[in-house]
Amino acid sequence: MTVRPIRIFGDPVLRTEADPVTAFDAELRELVRDLEDTVREPGRAGVAAPQIGVSLRVFSYNVAGQVGHLVNPVLSDFDGEQDDDEGCLSLPGLGYPTRRALTVTARGFDVHGEPLVIEGTGFLARALQHETDHLNGTLYIDTLTGDVRRQALRELRRVRPAPQGG
């Protein structure tokens, strides 16, 4: 069992679009095992490969006790709206109301390259959208607007001050 450390806001890998997976090999299977082991830690709903320092389009999720993964995801069929609090392992201690689609379809592949379709509603839909955003170099705070965005950015500066030049 390998639980990998989570990269924290400020790490450039979190702001870089991840590369598509092209080889469904032993290396990918090991990465997916690590992602699934990492997401099984208490309080975790999803972990994208960039969050453990790997710039590949793959993530794991743990929703309602069901652990899974998706390689090269593409989201479609967005429907409805939900506006619940959302947090992120890469932004520890922060959480803000974040608008997401209520339902979404995620298409991609499993670790063996077999097509996989996940129909998500509610919290699973939120997790699929959040983790796919990570693969695009987007953090949930980027989707916030208005006063909520201003509050989040103030809090982020407070807990993660800018590095001092020297």
In the chain, where the domains are located = 12-159
pLDDT higher than 60, residue 116: yes
Length of the chain counted residue by residue: 166
Annotated binding-site residue? 134: yes
Annotated binding-site residue? 88: yes
Active-site position among 41, 86, 114, 131: 131
pLDDT of residue 159: 75
Cα–Cα dist 57/38, whole Å:
16
Residue 56 DSSP class:
B
Query: What secondary structure, in 3-state letters, does 16-50 show?
Result: CCCECCCCCCHHHHHHHHHHHHHHCCCCCCEEEHH
Annotated binding-site residue? 112: no
Q: Are 61 and 124 in contact (CB under 8 A)?
A: yes
36 is catalytic: no
pTM over 0.85: yes
For the record, the structure tokens of 17 come out as 């679009």
Give the architecture (CATH level 2) of 12-159. Answer: Alpha-Beta Complex (3.90)
Structure confidence by residue, pLDDT tens digits, 53-105: 999 999 999 999 899 999 999 999 999 999 999 999 999 989 999 999 999 99
pLDDT of residue 166: 44
Structure confidence by residue, pLDDT tens digits, 22-41: 999 999 999 999 999 999 99
